[in-house]
Each structure stands twice: as structure tokens, then as C-alpha cells.
Structure 1
Amino acid sequence: MSENSLFALLLRSPWWISFVLVAALALVSRALLPAEYFVLGALSGFPLFVVGCIAAWRQLRAPSAAKVQQMLDSTQSMPWSALSQALTHAWVGQGFDVNVASKGPVDLRLTKGEQTILVSAKRWKAATHGIEPLRELYNAMQAQNAQGALYVAGQGSVSESAALFARDHGITLVQGPALAALLLG
């Protein structure tokens, strides 16, 4: 699904917006269509109703802002071994096989079927995340024929050039609320 499609936008919006659109579509159908076509017009909003249900389910299951902040605070005090275990547990819960990489920019290797994703996470406490670790991760991704890469930035900021490099080279930045949501499962 395209990131800017109507359904994608509604999935990222508050759940009730989809239901308001369904109601508006039903009202417009009632006002503009002949009586025998009203039901068809009103039912055309059914896909929006389904999207609203999915958005509501996701939003009700999402961790609260307080839980997210608490998790982010706890990751700042975690040693590498604890963070590595927490990340491994989260990805195993998503169905990945997780292997610890022995050296280089790759810390963990995730596999699911034929898909391989490389993870660089040891610099999660860095104050600033520049382009060089991302470049090393990208080179490892190319050398190992991985389908994707994740760079975990638990603290600090990612420079603009690093964020652009990650976007342009298929590296997903996992930071802030996304990191907390991953660890909270």
C-alpha cells in the first residue's frame, strides 16, 4: 500500500475519522441518490469502516505515552547485553530467527524465511548519530546480500545527512517511540 494512499492516511489518523467519513458518505448518499440506490451508496463506505476498525484496534493496543517514555528512560540505563536480549526477545516474538554477529558494524542478523535483515545497535547510546556507521552498515548489507538493515538509535539525534543516507539506501532508523514500541511488543 502506498504511504500516501487514502487507506494508509486513515490508518495513521485517529480511528474515529474513518467512521465520520462513513457517516458523511451515508448522508451524502441519502441526500443525492434516489431511494433505490441509497443502500449501494451507503455501502460504498464499507471499506472505510473496515479501515476504521483496524485503526481502532491498533490504537487501542498501542502503548500509552507514559509507558513509551518509561521504556525510553530504561533503555538509556541498560547495558548492551540487556538491550541485546530485549531486542532479540522482541524480534523472536515477531517470528524472526536472531543470530548475534561476531564482528563489524552488524550486531544482530534477523532471518525469516529467505529474508535477511542486518541490525546495528551497539551505538544506541551515542549523543549524535552520523553517516559513517550507516555507511558501514550499508556496505555490510551489500556484502551479505541482505534485504534490509535497521540502525538502532536509542539516544541522541541522527544528523540530517545520516537520515537522508538511511532513507536513500533502505536502512530503517529505529529510534524514540518506534524503539519503545518494539521493546514493549
Structure 2
Amino acid sequence: MKFRIAENSLFAILLRSNWWVSFLVAGGIVLLSSLLLPAQFIVYGAIVAAPFLVIGFIAAWRQLQAPGAASIAATVERVAAMSREELTAALEEGFRREGHTVSRIDSPGADLELTRGGRTVLVSCRRWKAGRTGVEPLRELQALREARNAQGASCVAIGEVTDTALAFAARHGIALMQGPELTALLRGKALSRRA
């Protein structure tokens, strides 16, 4: 069983923030401890800062691993030049590296079905080259998700996503795989053949 932090907890917010924010909070706790607590209890106040330091290191590691703007632009350019078959194969390889069991499906709403830990996610990459992604492909994906009782859904889109589509995706919990997500997934082998 994987441990999950509540999305709006203090630690989850700090993990999404810049790394230095957690270190600033830890420093503030240590400073307040030294000002407000008797000398023999300062060490206990400082111990309270330890989780914030750990979160700061985790956030720093994640931010160092995140793809940069040049890498994202290069990935989007490569993905735009791929055929549908090449993209599907690259996505399959990337998802398999992440530990998913991947199978192709022939359906109007999705191209891949991912399974890991008893959880099923449908992935649509049919209209990845569209300059502007509207709500219709997301509706098709959501309908298929409901028909197959899948727990998750994801749509690949390298172009602009309309506000209506963004709202629909948020309302139905559909993940949008755009430049940063594709760069992280396709890093390494999946794109090296195209380089």
C-alpha cells in the first residue's frame, strides 16, 4: 500500500512549493524556539523543524529532476513529428518503465489501457497534434472510462487546451499529459531513437 499525503495538507503544499520555502519554515521554527523556549528545551523546538527540512530536501530533489523549458520544447517538437504509431509505442514504453501493464485498445475514446496495483487508467493520444484541444475528445474518453469502470483517464495534448476542456478535465479527474508530463514520461529510451 502506497502512503498518500492529503492534497491540501501543509506538507503537500510545501512539496508543491519552491524548496526554499520549507527551509524558511524550518529556520523560523528554530528561531522562534530559541527566542521563546528555555535553553534546556530549545533542542526539542528544533526537532519540530526536522520534518520541514525533510520536505525541503524532497522538494529540492523533485525540482532538480523536473525537465527544463528547453527539454520540454524539444520533446514537444519530437512528439509533433511522430506518427500515431510511433507515439503510441513511445508511450507504451514509457508507461512500462513506470511499472504499468500496458495494452492497446481499439476504441474511439482511448488508445491504451494501463493497469498497476489493481487500478486501471485509460490513455487517449488520438488528437495529440491538435493545435487546440476542446472538450469533445475528453467527453469520449470519459464515456469510455465509465463504460469500462476505469479508475483514471489521461489525455495527451501538445497544443493549447481550451478553458472549457480544462474545466471538464478538472471536474471529471482527467489528467492532461502536456509538455512537462510527456517529457518526464518519454525521457530516455522512448525518444532516443528519434534524436
TM-score range, shorter chain: over 0.9
Equivalence for 2:20: 16
Point out where structure 2 has 5 or more consecutive residues left out of the alignment: 189-195
Secondary structure of 1:149's aligned partner: strand
Contact persistence 1:118–1:141 (CA under 8 A): yes
Residues 135-157 of structure 1, C-alpha deviations (whole Å, 9 max, x = no match): 11111001101001001112x21
What percentage of residue pairs aligned between the two structures are identical? 48
Equivalence for 2:57: 53
Equivalence for 1:32: 36
Is it true that 1:180 corresponds to 2:176 in the alignment? no
Residues 23-66 of structure 1, C-alpha deviations (whole Å, 9 max, x = no match): 22111100111111101111101110110111122122222322
Equivalent in 74, 78, 86 of residue 78 of structure 2? 74
Equivalence for 1:106: 110
In structure 1, give the amino acid aligned to 2:179: G
Residues 71-91 of structure 1, C-alpha deviations (whole Å, 9 max, x = no match): 111111111122111111111
Counterpart CA distance in 1 for 2:134 and 2:154 is 15
Equivalent in 130, 136, 139 of residue 132 of structure 1? 136
Secondary structure of 1:4's aligned partner: coil
Deviates more, 1:97-106 or 1:14-23: 14-23
Secondary structure of 1:122's aligned partner: coil
Indicate the RMSD between aligned Cα atoms, in angstroms: 1.4
What is the TM-score of this pair, normalised by structure 1? 0.93
Point out where structure 1 has 5 or more consecutive residues left out of the alignment: none
Residues 97-140 of structure 1, C-alpha deviations (whole Å, 9 max, x = no match): 11011232110110113111011101000122111111111110
Secondary structure of 1:172's aligned partner: strand
Per-residue deviation at 1:16? 2.1
Contact persistence 1:63–1:184 (CA under 8 A): no
Aligned length, in residue pairs:
184
